[in-house]
Chains A and B, each alone.
Chain A
């Protein structure tokens, strides 16, 4: 007699487990199966930690900082171009951070849920597109539930367009860990430290990322200073 989770339950759990570790996690959960309730509870307790671990492996803090800057600067630039008065509104600068934050979340999740191995150059843009989809969806939800938190339509549209370009550029320069060549049993940390791809001299990407991250922080501070002055004046 078959003793295991139902196909539907397994299919639901499979959706939430990142593809890179789906096979072993689903297999382990199947092996531990004793009842439907136990399986559900086991999956609920296991999947969040699996996702967190996958995010830790695929996310690079320096690149994330650059992405955050690119996204926030895009929405800030859009506000500057389309509706400068918005920047001096109460919580205007914070409201701009909401779509940028949602887009960041989309990027992080896209990397965590990407299938391991090489991806085409076109698919590099998939993360930003998903992120911006999330940003627009969040704006739509705010418009219905709490319009005070939403940013004006034109700022959202221009911000998304600019950030799609900037964010894709950052991803092309510094591809996510899942895009790099993976040798058998090469620890992900070593790949991160060595720059990952075979053509790069060891560590040179790390230096470039470090410099780019410092430049990103300086630019972010300048933007905030300019925005503060605009808000005061």
Chain B
């Protein structure tokens, strides 16, 4: 079985966006999702295209053209979905991130981890 390449942070964000958007993952929706995940950093639409092309070249995502819609001036969308390799790469990244989080929480203390947990809860809520 092919081993997925390790992912950069921006690639992880784009893959997470595609995962959450499911059937509705295309340029505009992926961009708004990534912007939401990457806040407060600003993300350009061009950077999303570059990353999507790279992920497709690596075989982590696949794309297809949808039917044209009037709100897009009669133009089609390029929709994306995660491939099995992409899902595995994202899982590996999540496991690594969890390991990093556990080590940091251990070193800096449980109180600190709780505080951060609360802050994240507020941001998400």
A interface vs B, CB < 8 Å?
4-5, 10, 21, 23-32, 42, 45-50, 52-54, 56-57, 184-185, 187-190
B47 with A10: CB separation less than 8 A: no
Cα–Cα, bound, A28→B54 (Å): 19
A52 with B50: CB separation less than 8 A: yes
Within 8 Å of chain A (Cβ to Cβ): is B57?
yes
Q: Quick one: CB contact mask for B20-37 with A, threshold 8 Å, 1 for yes? A: 000000111001000000
B46 with A46: CB separation less than 8 A: yes
Q: Which of B12-68 contact A (CB under 8 A)?
A: 26-28, 31, 44-47, 49-50, 53-54, 56-59, 62-65, 68
Cα–Cα, bound, A184→B44 (Å): 28
Which chain B residues border A189 with CB–CB below 8 Å?
57-59
Which chain A residues border B26 with CB–CB below 8 Å?
24, 28
**Which one of B31, B45, B57, B76 lies within 8 Å of A187 (CB-CB)?**
B57
Which chain A residues border B54 with CB–CB below 8 Å?
53, 56
A31 with B47: CB separation less than 8 A: no
What are 7 A-B pairs at a CB distance below 8 A?
A24-B65, A27-B68, A28-B27, A28-B31, A53-B53, A188-B57, A189-B58
**Which one of A28, A48, A190 lies within 8 Å of B28 (CB-CB)?**
A28
Total residues of chain B contacting the partner, CB 8 A: 29
Within 8 Å of chain A (Cβ to Cβ): is B88?
no
Within 8 Å of chain A (Cβ to Cβ): is B72?
yes
Further 13 A-B residue pairs, CB within 8 A, beyond A21-B49, A49-B49, A56-B54: A24-B75, A27-B69, A28-B26, A28-B77, A30-B71, A30-B73, A31-B28, A46-B44, A46-B46, A48-B46, A52-B50, A56-B53, A185-B63
With both beta carbons as reference points, the residue of chain A lying nearest to B46 in the complex is identified as A49
B76 with A45: CB separation less than 8 A: no
Q: Which of B63-122 contact A (CB under 8 A)?
A: 63-65, 68-69, 71-73, 75-78
A188 with B50: CB separation less than 8 A: no
B64 with A24: CB separation less than 8 A: no
Which chain B residues border A45 with CB–CB below 8 Å?
44-46
With both beta carbons as reference points, the residue of chain B lying nearest to A3 in the complex is identified as B71
A185 with B62: CB separation less than 8 A: yes
Cα–Cα, bound, A26→B64 (Å): 16
B45 with A24: CB separation less than 8 A: no
Q: Which of B27, B56, B65, B76 has the most CB of A within 10 A?
A: B27
Expressed in whole angstroms, the minimum distance between the Cβ of A194 and any Cβ of chain B is 12
With both beta carbons as reference points, the residue of chain A lying nearest to B52 in the complex is identified as A53
A26 with B75: CB separation less than 8 A: yes
Which chain A residues border B69 with CB–CB below 8 Å?
27
Which chain B residues border A23 with CB–CB below 8 Å?
65, 75-76, 78
A31 with B72: CB separation less than 8 A: yes
Which chain B residues border A28 with CB–CB below 8 Å?
26-28, 31, 45, 72, 77
With both beta carbons as reference points, the residue of chain B lying nearest to A50 in the complex is identified as B49
Which chain A residues border B28 with CB–CB below 8 Å?
28, 31-32
Cα–Cα, bound, A146→B70 (Å): 51
A26 with B73: CB separation less than 8 A: yes
Cα–Cα, bound, A27→B56 (Å): 20
With both beta carbons as reference points, the residue of chain B lying nearest to A56 in the complex is identified as B53
Cα–Cα, bound, A188→B47 (Å): 19
Cα–Cα, bound, A53→B44 (Å): 14
Cα–Cα, bound, A187→B68 (Å): 24
